[in-house]
A and B are shown apart, each in its own frame.
Chain A
Amino acid sequence: MNRAQRRAHARLWPVLALLLAAAFAGSLLVKAGVDRAAREAPASPIGGG
């Protein structure tokens, strides 16, 4: 690669890595939040009516 391309790679990847990490962590957090809300919601079983 030429100098400009090397510079583009060196600048792009730290940003992209951070974005990926944030998206990865964010999606897992959201999923965990929904799972917790589902567990903690005061649900009555269908058969119990």
Chain B
Amino acid sequence: MKQDDFFIGWSAETPRADRRFLLGAGLALIAGGGALGAGLALDRPPVGDGVWDQGTKHTLRGVIGREPYPVLRSRGPDGAIRTVFLVSSGKTALRLDPRIVGAGADVTGTLITRGDHAMMAVTDMAAAPASREVALLVPPPAVDRGPVMLVGEILDAKCWFGAMRPGYGKTHKACAALCARGGLPLAFCQIGACGDAVQAPLLLDADGRAFGRNILPLVADPVSVRGRLVAVGDVLQIRAPFSALHRL
């Protein structure tokens, strides 16, 4: 080995053999890094087609409901009655003026949609004049569709509808817990289908009310639930007592 073959980092000259080896190794590592990055990005569970279009504001007219979660019942473009969940822009529930509940209102905000689900991040709300059209939008009675036994995950509906992509699973657990803590609607997806499903029923207690904070430790964990499937208009619900929720 000649004297100049010896690598000295501070020297102006890197030995030729080292230069060649390091150049090859460097290029291989850079190329390998690119391949690894692309491979990891393509290998992921599905995130679904939920969308939060934050660039477009909509104003919808309908009737405000409060239980179990704030909603606006309004008529969609196709004439069908649609329930739009009302939320704030962050991970907290929307505070409703009690005077507006059950009354007609014009609600403005951005839409979060997935499948037939719709949610609005509300920026503005105003009382609408009473009309025959608005009067037709009163909530329909609940229809019991029988018992269900499901295995899956408790979701926060806002993220799953499209505020986050992906909006389920363990990495999203803390966020889901924050949303649940803030009083946002909870829903349920079946395991294996949480990514690509387009429908997720609400998860409520046996009386059709929202769960309290006792449900936080179960959010986003794999759980089984035994309860009843209930339809209220276009909204599907799973109603189950807390004791019927079990972690797998």
B-binding residues in A (CB < 8 A): 34, 37-38, 41-46, 48-49
Contacts and interface: CB of A to CB of B under 8 A. Distances in A.
A49 B148 contact: yes
Interface string B3-30: 0000000000000000000000000000
A41 B150 CA distance: 8
A41 B248 contact: yes
B151 interface: yes
A16 B145 CA distance: 55
Interface string B159-171: 0000000000000
Main secondary structure of the interface of B (DSSP, over half): strand
Interface residues of B, number: 18
Interface in B136-156: 145-152
A43 B149 contact: yes
Given A34-B248, A38-B248, A49-B229, A44 B150 contact: yes
Main SS class of interface, A: loop
Contacts of A46: 148, 150, 190, 199, 201, 229, 236
Given A49-B146, A49-B229, A38 B151 contact: yes
B36 interface: no
A14 to B, nearest CB: 28
B222 interface: yes
A49 B190 contact: no
B150 to A, nearest CB: 5
15 contacts: A38-B152, A38-B222, A41-B151, A41-B224, A42-B149, A43-B149, A43-B190, A44-B150, A46-B148, A46-B150, A46-B199, A46-B229, A48-B148, A49-B146, A49-B147
Nearest to A38: B191
B192 interface: yes
A44 B149 contact: yes
Contacts of A49: 145-148, 229
